[in-house]
């Protein structure tokens, strides 16, 4: 029966197993139990807030956003919005929006994500996406029109 089969080679490649006399036969039928691994999708971070700001947000920018989000008509508490660095997104815009929980996305500053058009609100499924190509903290008093454009877009997202 073993003619032409090298049993040592089968053992090396784990095709057959060496059974010692100390090991009970019941253990041979049991497959080893491996711990379940948590499946994490590459390029899609887990976010639980309904609003998400994406960009390279500094502390100064974050404090300005807190002021903006606390003013009517938004009045968003800190727990309703979060910040994500754009480098954490490694999938397309459509896939990112469809696989994350927020319903409002605000992209601030320079972004390289394909599909973003500056100063326009886009509907993707049940979510709204807005891209403002500047950071709020970089706007000067002379750029009041840009500040109003950003504010009006936020009101439209509500």
User: 49-64: per-residue pLDDT in tens?
Assistant: 999 999 999 998 999 9
Q: Is residue 56 part of a domain?
A: yes
**Torsion angles phi and psi, residue 10, rounded to 5:** -65, -40
Q: Is residue 149 part of a domain?
A: yes
CATH number at residue 97: 3.30.379
User: 124-158: per-residue pLDDT in tens?
Assistant: 999 999 999 999 989 999 999 999 999 999 999 98
> The dihedral of CA 147, 86, 95, 48: what is its sign?
negative
Domain count, the chain: 1
Q: What is the mean pLDDT of residues 20-37?
A: 49
Q: Is residue 13 part of a domain?
A: no
Alpha carbons 60 and 114: distance in angstroms, whole number? 27
- CA angle 102/96/132 to nearest 5° reads 70
Does residue 103 surpass a pLDDT of 80?
yes
pLDDT at 132: 94
Q: Is residue 22 part of a domain?
A: no
pLDDT at 105: 95
Q: Is residue 46 part of a domain?
A: no
Q: Is residue 143 part of a domain?
A: yes
Structure confidence at residue 28 as a pLDDT band (50, 70, 90): very low
Q: Is residue 36 part of a domain?
A: no
Q: Tell whether pTM > 0.75.
A: no
Tell me what the pLDDT averaged over the chain comes to. Answer: 80
Among the listed ranges 90-94, 107-111, 114-118, which one has the minimum average pLDDT value? 114-118
User: Is the distance from CB of 96 to CB of 122 less than 8 angstroms?
Assistant: no
Q: What is the DSSP letter of 30?
A: P
pLDDT higher at 9 or 118: 118
> The dihedral of CA 54, 109, 90, 99: what is its sign?
positive
Q: Is residue 3 part of a domain?
A: no
Q: Rg of the chain over CA atoms, in angstroms? A: 27
pLDDT at 107: 95
pLDDT at 6: 66
Name 106's bridge partners: 53, 130
Q: Which domain holds residue 61?
A: 51-157
User: Is the distance from CB of 84 to CB of 137 less than 8 angstroms?
Assistant: no
């Amino acid at each position: 029966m073993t003619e032409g089969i090298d049993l040592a080679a089968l053992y090396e490649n784990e095709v057959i197993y060496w059974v010692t006399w100390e090991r009970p036969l019941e253990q041979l039928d049991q497959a080893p139990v491996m711990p379940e691994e948590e499946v994490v999708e590459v390029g899609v971070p887990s976010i639980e807030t309904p609003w998400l700001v994406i960009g390279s947000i500094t502390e100064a920018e974050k404090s300005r956003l807190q002021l903006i989000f606390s003013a009517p008509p938004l009045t968003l508490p800190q727990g309703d919005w979060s910040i994500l660095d754009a480098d954490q997104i490694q999938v397309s815009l459509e896939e990112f929006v469809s696989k994350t929980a927020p319903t409002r996305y605000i992209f601030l500053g320079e972004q390289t994500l394909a599909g973003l058009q500056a100063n326009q609100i886009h509907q993707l499924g049940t979510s709204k996406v807005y891209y403002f190509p500047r950071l709020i903290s970089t706007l000067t008093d002379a750029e009041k029109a840009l500040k109003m454009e950003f504010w009006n877009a936020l009101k439209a997202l509500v």
